Amino acid sequence: MTEVTGFQEQAAYDERIDLRTDFVMAYGMNDSTAERIARWREAGYRVHLMTGISWGQYQDYLKGGWDGEIHWDDAQTAEDGTPIQHGVDIPYMVPTINFTDYLVQKLRPIIELGVEDVHLEEPEFWSRAGYSESFRREWQAYFGEPWQPPHGSPEAHFRSGQLKQHLLVRSLDRVTTVLRDEALRRGRELRFYIPTHSLLNYTQWQIVSPESKLRELPAVHGAIAQVWTGTSRTPNVYAGRHAERTFETAYLEYGIAQDLTKGTDRRLWFLHDPIEDHPDRTWEDYLANYHRTLVASLLHPEVSRYEVAPWPHRIFTRPYPSDHADQRIGIPASTATSYLITMNSLRDLDQPDIRRDADGPQIGVFLSDTAMFQRWRPGESTGHYDGLQDALAVEGRELLNFSDFYGLALPPLFAGQAVRPVQLENVITTPGALDDLDVLILSYEFQKPLTPALHYALAGWVSRGGALLYVGDGADPYHRIRQWWTGSYPTPAHHLGEALGIDPDNAAVQSVGSGFVRFIQQPPAAFSETPVRAAELVAAVQEIAEAAGHSWTPSDWLSIRRGPYLIGAVLSEATDGVTVEGHYLDLLDPALPIRRRVDLGPGDVTWLRDLDDDNETVLASAGRVCDLVESADGSISYRCEAPAQVQVVTALRAPVAPDQVSGADWQHDAQAGVLWLRHQGEPAGTTVKINRGVSS
């Protein structure tokens, strides 16, 4: 069975949240898990199991119920000695050997539940943690030297991050390999996936996670890229202005998330969330930002699997504020219909015909796991941010802005170029990791190379015709930590220059084989400070791109065509709008109207189906269209499955109006050749029959 779309849910089956996707992830291990799995399976779903790996209902372990010992020393602990918690008595855990053995035992019943796919979500270790007794012992064992306070020096903080990632990877490896082995010995298949935030978000929020290391775990079969409004609306700074840039941040997050599985045969789903964890936004805010993250994901055609929602119960059964009401209300009918149209349309994104509307260079901005290890500077508090706080008032806002990275990524993106972060570690682990990129931007002022082999790989890529722009002034205190370049080179950038065979102190564009390199001795964050500085970086990127033979056309519009679908966004910092003309069905409008002209202003996004691009009968629907039968006389019948209590609209290609329709109200546009059908949602399906040649 093809598992293109799915969702996660901890609530019991409810017809109002039966989204009719390919699979459902029943969340959590408790007394109701078996019953919930059985009920979702009865509803026709392939059922996966999902649970947290770094936090959860582990009170029996913490309080001595598992082995008779109290284990609060395995809670992630801040500098002041307090546990970092996800809820009452739900701390984030230090993944010690003992706790990992507990996880294996706690998860072992999975094998008997009849599921073949397990998602262990969010392996996370907070940067501000590292003070518990268990972490101190792990430090001694790993480094062979006494523990150092993680925020005592840059080196201690970096080493703390390395250890945190090691512990998370070690625990995941043991849990997945032991349980998979036990399942295979019983003749059962068991696959593991890791739902995880993007490397960009974890770095910005100051959390350490396995990220690139997941590719090394043999019993991990893929991941879910957890990108949504709650991560992508985290503010950043561009041209001196601090603001939420949900679309652009999501575009970069989904971009780096691809590298979780790129070049492998592992599966990757992109997550969307029509709400978010913050419970006090309005329905209008949720919908607008959902559209921004949705479109951002669709601009990356390398991925065509999607988790369409976490927790549909909080979308379809809970009240939220509204711009049009003085109290919380349930989901507006039009909003529910709009969500379901996009969720069902996502099943059709695996299109062989991909066309980009612009031919500019493909630009990569390197981001390394080590950026997660550098989220502290002497004298600066890290604060705490997880998407629920007021980012304008949060302690440590300057650090949260992560301007070292955004100062490099946002200027060329706002110039309308295709920009995506690139996992630095993959350069030496994945053949062809850079083959689809023309220009690379690199800085070691907020991250470090863990091996000199990276530089020889980069030198080879440049010599074959690539263009590399290095940005950094060598001021980062982390240059002086104990690593492979220490004592031999002032910074790792000097070794990069040596590997390239050029002088890194020369600011001019220099040729290396068939490619080009330029070193700019400036702090990357400086290019976020003013419009003038942002333009300087754009000019530098354009210069080296054109030296390598690539055209450069500034634009306020990012777009792509995936088969019959046109997906596009006007950048939020644009000065002008964009007009799209053609013959389209508007998939972001719950009425699915025909659009001959679409006028988009700064920050607007669109997803259109080109009615002149294919001959498919089903154009779009808020339900899952099944058992479609088309007769020679033009009659059509189908069954449409959708959650209960929603208004379903389906658009079909129909050059001629029907003579009779049963099961739905209808409207026909002869000029457009489109028939719209409307009915109430029903998970078991509503049978619709469209007859030709029958008297009314």
List, for residues 48-65, the tens digit of each pLDDT value. Answer: 999 999 998 899 999 999
Structure confidence at residue 695 (pLDDT): 45
Which of 407, 485, 500 lies closest to 449, judged by CA? Answer: 485
To the nearest whole percent, how much of the chain has pLDDT over 90?
92
pLDDT score of 619 more than 70: yes
Structure confidence at residue 386 (pLDDT): 81
List, for residues 209-266, the tens digit of each pLDDT value. Answer: 999 999 999 999 999 999 999 999 999 999 999 999 999 999 999 999 999 999 999 9
Cα gap 375→383, rounded to integer Å = 11
Residue 683's H or E segment, with its range, is none
Burial of 629 (0-12, 13-18, 19+ CB in 10 A): exposed
Structure confidence at residue 313 (pLDDT): 97
Q: What is the mean pLDDT of residues 500-517?
A: 96
Q: Going by DSSP bridges, is the β-strand pair 23-27/5-9 parallel, antiparallel, or unpaired? A: parallel
Structure confidence at residue 377 (pLDDT): 76
Structure confidence at residue 359 (pLDDT): 81
Task: Provide DSSP, 413-436.
Answer: HHTT-EEEEEETTHHHHSTTTTTT
Retrieve residue 245's tokens.
């840039």
CB atoms within 10 A of CB 600: 18
Structure confidence at residue 696 (pLDDT): 40
List, for residues 316-353, the tens digit of each pLDDT value. Answer: 999 999 999 999 999 999 999 999 999 999 999 999 99
Q: Which residue has the tokens 């777009």?
A: 559
Retrieve residue 611's tokens.
């009615």
- For 488-520, b where at least 16 C-beta lie within 10 A, e where not — what string? ebebbbbbbbbbbebebeeeebbebeebbbbbb
Structure confidence at residue 694 (pLDDT): 55
Protein fold of 362-547 = Rossmann fold (3.40.50)
List, for residues 539-564, the tens digit of each pLDDT value. Answer: 999 999 999 999 999 999 999 999 99
CB atoms within 10 A of CB 255: 28
Cα gap 231→568, rounded to integer Å = 21
Give the distance, in angstroms, between the CA of residue 288 and the centroid of all CA atoms in the same chain: 18
Which residues does 210 contact at the CB level (< 8 Å), separation at least 6?
A: 123, 165, 168, 169, 172, 194, 196, 217
So where are the chain's domains? 362-547, 557-610, 618-691
Q: What is the mean pLDDT of residues 389-406?
A: 80
Structure letter (DSSP) for residue 189: -
CA distances (Å), origin 316, targets 274, 310, 319, 379 = 10, 12, 9, 46
Mean of all residue pLDDT scores within the chain: 95
